C-alpha cells in the first residue's frame, strides 16, 4: 500500500479510483511539495514569457487590429492582426480543423507536452497561484499543519491574505480574458463608464472573476481531470511510441527503500522477507516517494502512464535530485516512450504519425489556397427588409437595397458599384458606399429603377459589377421584386 500525500492508493488500485477522491467520495486535497530542478527552472522561464505575452496581448496591435480578438457576440474575429468576418466562415473552419489535427499529431508524438509547459491552467496554477501559496503558507507540510491548526490569528491572516490575493489576481485575469473577447477599448469603457451603462459587461466580469477564483483556489487539478476536453482525449491520442513522462521500470525495479536494502546487506532480513524472490536484484528506485510528494495531480508515476498526468516534470526533477544524492545517473523518470523503455527502440514516424501528417498537409494546403483566393472586398446586396416594390410614373418600378462592403485589406479602398444587368436599369444612390476603411465594414443604401418591360415576373435577377480604383473586382447578384404578370 503506497502512503502518499494524505491518501492511500494501492499499487493495483490506481486505475480504479482517483487519488484526489477519498473512499467516502470526498475530496483528497493535494499538498504538493514545492518542486525544483532544471525542468522547473526552464518551465519558470518559459512561463514568464508566456505570461508577459498573455498580459500584453490585448494591447498589441498589428496594422491597427488587435493581435487576437474572439468577439462571438458581434461576430468579429481577429487572428494575428488579420480580421475574419462571418463571410470567412469556411476559412475559420479549415483553420480550426488544421489546428485540431495539428494538436492530435503533436500529442501523438510528444504526449501532453503542451499541458505541462504552455497550458494557461498549468501556468497560472503552478507558476502564479501555487507560488503565492508556498510564499504565504509554506511548503506542503506547513500547509498541512496550517489546515489542521485552529482558527487563530496566524491562520486567519495567512488564509485571508492568500484568498484576497487570489481574488485580485482572478479579477485581473478575467479582465484580460474579457479584453480578448470584446477588445481593450470596450473593456476600458466598461471600467470607466458608470456601472449602469454596462450591466452585461460588469456581470460577465464578475462571473469570470468568480470562475477563475474557483478554478485556481479550489478546483485546481479537478479541471484537468474532469473539465478539460484535451485531457479527456489523451487515451485515444497516445500510443506506445508517444513521448511521455515515464518511469524506467526496467532500471527502477525491484524497488526497495534504503532501510530495506541495508537490512538485506547486513543480513537482518532476506529478500524473501521483503517479498522478493531469492535471486532478485534491486533496481535504482529507492522507494523514497519524492516523485509522488511533488506531484500536483497526486499520482505515482511509477504505476505507468496515467490520464491524470499533465507532464509537469516535477517528478523528473525530484527523482533526478535523489539519483544525484545516491550517485546514480539521472533519468530514472524522464521523457521517454513505452517502446523506448520496453524494447529500447525509438520510432517517431509511425504509420499513424504519417497518416495525421498527410491529413494536416491537405488541410493546410486547402487553407492556404482559400486564403489566397480571398477577395479584398466583399459585397452583400440585399433588398431592404420589409419593403415591396414602388410604382413610379412612366411604367417604372423601384426597389430599395442595402449594401454591406467589407474591406479585408490594410488600405482604404475606393468603391463603386454599377448595375450591369438588366441593361438600361438605373442605380440611384441614397447614401451609397464610396470608400471603405481598412479591415472595416461600410454600409449604404441605393435604389434600383427598372422599366416594366425589363421585369421578369415577380423576381428579376440583378447583376452588379463592383469596382475599386477603376478595376472590376467582383460580381454580385440580387433580386428585384416586381408585380406579378
Ligand atoms: S506524474 Fe510527474 S509529470 Fe505527471 S503530473 Fe505528476 S509530477 Fe507532473
Ligand atoms: S523519486 Fe525516484 S527513487 Fe524516489 S520513489 Fe520516485 S522513482 Fe523511486
Q: Kindly state the average pLDDT of the residues 40-45.
A: 97
How many Å apart are CA 106 and CA 110, to the nearest integer? Answer: 6
Range 221-229 average pLDDT: 91
> Residues 393-421: what's their mean pLDDT?
90
Residue nearest to atom 7 of ligand 1 (CA): 295
Mean pLDDT, rounded, for 18-30: 85
**Among 237, 265, 290, residue at a domain's last position:** 237
For residue 400, is it within any domain? yes
Residue that is last in its domain, among 222, 237, 252? 237
CB of 310 closer than 6 angstroms to any ligand 2 atom: no
Residue 6 lies in a domain: no
From the list 465, 466, 441, 373, the residue with the least C-alpha distance to 86 is: 441
Task: Give me the mean pLDDT over the 194-211 stretch.
Answer: 87
pLDDT tens-place string over residues 291-312: 999 999 999 999 988 888 999 9
Do 199 and 59 lie in one domain? The reply is: yes
All 3 cell numbers of residue 256?
A: 526497495
- Give me the pLDDT at residue 10, please: 56
Task: Name the CA dihedral angle for 108, 110, 113, 114, rounded to a multiple of 10 degrees.
Answer: -50
Regarding whether 267 and 177 lie in a shared domain, the answer is no
Instruction: Give me the chain's average pLDDT, please.
Output: 89
CA distance 363 to 358: 9
Query: Are both 212 and 69 inside the same structural domain?
Result: yes
% of the chain beyond a pLDDT of 70: 97
Determine whether the shortest distance from the Cβ of 286 to ligand 2 is under 6 A: yes
pLDDT at position 432, please? Answer: 80
Domain presence at residue 162: yes
Q: Per the domain annotation, does 474 fall within a domain? A: yes
Task: Give pLDDT, residue 88.
Answer: 81
Q: What is the pLDDT of residue 62?
A: 80
- Same domain? For 230 and 100 the reply is yes
First to last CA, the chain: 89
What's the whole-model pTM score?
Answer: 0.80
CATH number, domain at 449? 2.60.40.10
Q: Is residue 194 part of a domain?
A: yes
Locate 293 and state its grid cell: 510528494
H or E segment to which residue 405 belongs: strand 396-407
Q: In angstroms, what is the span from residue 464 Cα to ligand 1's centroid?
A: 62
The model's pLDDT over 435-449, given as tens digits with 9 standing for 90+, comes to 888 878 899 999 999
pLDDT one-digit tens code per residue, 331-377: 999 999 999 999 887 788 888 999 999 999 999 999 999 888 887 78
Give the residue among 224, 164, 183, 212 at the shortest CA–CA distance from 70: 183
User: Which pLDDT value is given to residue 332?
Assistant: 97
476 occurs within a structural domain = yes
Cα separation, 324 vs 285, whole angstroms:
12
Q: Residues 140, 271: one domain?
A: no
Q: What is residue 15's predicted lDDT score, i.e. its pLDDT?
A: 67
- When divided into structural domains, the chain yields a total of 3
- Residue 403 pLDDT more than 80? yes
Dihedral Cα 187, 189, 194, 195, nearest 10 deg: -20
Residue 424: inside a domain: yes
pLDDT at 158 over 90: yes
**Residues 45 and 136 both lie in one domain:** yes
Average pLDDT rounded to a whole number, residues 33-37? 96
Please write the tens of the pLDDT for every residue from 96-113: 899 999 999 999 999 999
Cβ(297) – ligand 1 distance below 6 Å: yes
Q: Identify the domain containing residue 318 by its residue range.
A: 244-342
Residue 4 has a pLDDT of 40
- 42, 246, 300, 313: which to mutate for ligand 1, most atoms within 8 A of CB? 313
**How far apart are the CA of 331 and the centre of ligand 1, in A?**
14
Q: Is the CB of 290 under 6 A from ligand 2?
A: yes
Helix (H) or strand (E) run with residue 363 in it: helix 351-373
State the greatest distance between any 2 C-alpha atoms of the chain, in Å, as a whole number: 119
Going by pLDDT thresholds of 50, 70 and 90, the confidence category of residue 8 is very low
Shared domain for 441 and 318, answered yes or no, is no
Domain for residue 431, yes or no? Answer: yes
Query: pLDDT tens for residues 251-303?
Result: 999 999 999 999 999 999 889 888 888 888 999 999 999 999 999 999 999 99
Residue where a domain terminates, one of 214, 237, 260 = 237
Note whether 248 and 215 are same-domain residues. Answer: no
Residue 6, pLDDT above cutoff 60:
no
219 lines ligand 2 (CB under 6 A): no
Residues 223, 263 share a domain: no
Query: Does the pLDDT at position 13 exceed 80?
Result: no
Using the atom order of ligand 2, give the atom closest to the CA of residue 326: 3
More confident residue, 192 or 160: 160
Q: What pLDDT, on a 0 to 100 scale, did the predictor assign at position 5?
A: 43
Please check whether residues 154 and 248 belong to one and the same domain.
no
Q: How confident is the model at residue 52 (pLDDT cuts 50, 70, 90)?
A: very high
What's the CA-to-centroid distance between 315 and ligand 1, angstroms?
6
Clarify whether residues 78 and 225 are in a common domain: yes
In this structure, the answer to whether residues 277 and 387 fall within a common structural domain is no
Amino acid at each position: 500500500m503506497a502512503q502518499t500525500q494524505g491518501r492511500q492508493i494501492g499499487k493495483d488500485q490506481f486505475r480504479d479510483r482517483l487519488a484526489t477522491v477519498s473512499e467516502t467520495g470526498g475530496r483528497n486535497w493535494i499538498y504538493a511539495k514545492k518542486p525544483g530542478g532544471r525542468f522547473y527552472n526552464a518551465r519558470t522561464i518559459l512561463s514568464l514569457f508566456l505570461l508577459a505575452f498573455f498580459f500584453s496581448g490585448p494591447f498589441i496591435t498589428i496594422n491597427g487590429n488587435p493581435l487576437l480578438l474572439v468577439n462571438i457576440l458581434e461576430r468579429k474575429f481577429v487572428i494575428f492582426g488579420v480580421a475574419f468576418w462571418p463571410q470567412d466562415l469556411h476559412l475559420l473552419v479549415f483553420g480550426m480543423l488544421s489546428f485540431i489535427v495539428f494538436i492530435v499529431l503533436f500529442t501523438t508524438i510528444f504526449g501532453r507536452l503542451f499541458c505541462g509547459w504552455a497550458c494557461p491552467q498549468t501556468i497560472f496554477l503552478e507558476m502564479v497561484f501555487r507560488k503565492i501559496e508556498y510564499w504565504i503558507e509554506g511548503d506542503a507540510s506547513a500547509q498541512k499543519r496550517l489546515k489542521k491548526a485552529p482558527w487563530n490569528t496566524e491562520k486567519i491572516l495567512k488564509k485571508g491574505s492568500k484568498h484576497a490575493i487570489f481574488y485580485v489576481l482572478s479579477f485581473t485575469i478575467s479582465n484580460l480574458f474579457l479584453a480578448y473577447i470584446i477588445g481593450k477599448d470596450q473593456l476600458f469603457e466598461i471600467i470607466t463608464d458608470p456601472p449602469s451603462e454596462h450591466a452585461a459587461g460588469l456581470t460577465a466580469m464578475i462571473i469570470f472573476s468568480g470562475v477563475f477564483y474557483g478554478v485556481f483556489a479550489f478546483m485546481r487539478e479537478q479541471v484537468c481531470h474532469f473539465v478539460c476536453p484535451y485531457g479527456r482525449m489523451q487515451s485515444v491520442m497516445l500510443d506506445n511510441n508517444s513521448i511521455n513522462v515515464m518511469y524506467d521500470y526496467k532500471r527502477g525495479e525491484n524497488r526497495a527503500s534504503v532501510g530495506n536494502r541495508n537490512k538485506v546487506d547486513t543480513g537482518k532480513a532476506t529478500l524473501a522477507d521483503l517479498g522478493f524472490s531469492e535471486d532478485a536484484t534491486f533496481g535504482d528506485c529507492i522507494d523514497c516517494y519524492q516523485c509522488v510528494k511533488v506531484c500536483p495531480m497526486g499520482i505515482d508515476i511509477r504505476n505507468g502512464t496515467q490520464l491524470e498526468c499533465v507532464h509537469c516534470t516535477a517528478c523528473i526533477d525530484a527523482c533526478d535530485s535523489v539519483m544525484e544524492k545516491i550517485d546514480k545517473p539521472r533519468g530514472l523518470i524522464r521523457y521517454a516512450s513505452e517502446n523506448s523503455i520496453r524494447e529500447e527502440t525509438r520510432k517517431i514516424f509511425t504509420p499513424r504519425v504519417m497518416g495525421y501528417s498527410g491529413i494536416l498537409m491537405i488541410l493546410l494546403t486547402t487553407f492556404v489556397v482559400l486564403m489566397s483566393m480571398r477577395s479584398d472586398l466583399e459585397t452583400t446586396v440585399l433588398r431592404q427588409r420589409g419593403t415591396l416594390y414602388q410604382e413610379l410614373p412612366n411604367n417604372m418600378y423601384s426597389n430599395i437595397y442595402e449594401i454591406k462592403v467589407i474591406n479585408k485589406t490594410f488600405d482604404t479602398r475606393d468603391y463603386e458599384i454599377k448595375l450591369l444587368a438588366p441593361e438600361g436599369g438605373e442605380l440611384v444612390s441614397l447614401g451609397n458606399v464610396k470608400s471603405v476603411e481598412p479591415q472595416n465594414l461600410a454600409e449604404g443604401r441605393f435604389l434600383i429603377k427598372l422599366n416594366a418591360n425589363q421585369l421578369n415576373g415577380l423576381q428579376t435577377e440583378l447583376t452588379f459589377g463592383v469596382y475599386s480604383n477603376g478595376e472590376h473586382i467582383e460580381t454580385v447578384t440580387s433580386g428585384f421584386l416586381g408585380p406579378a404578370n
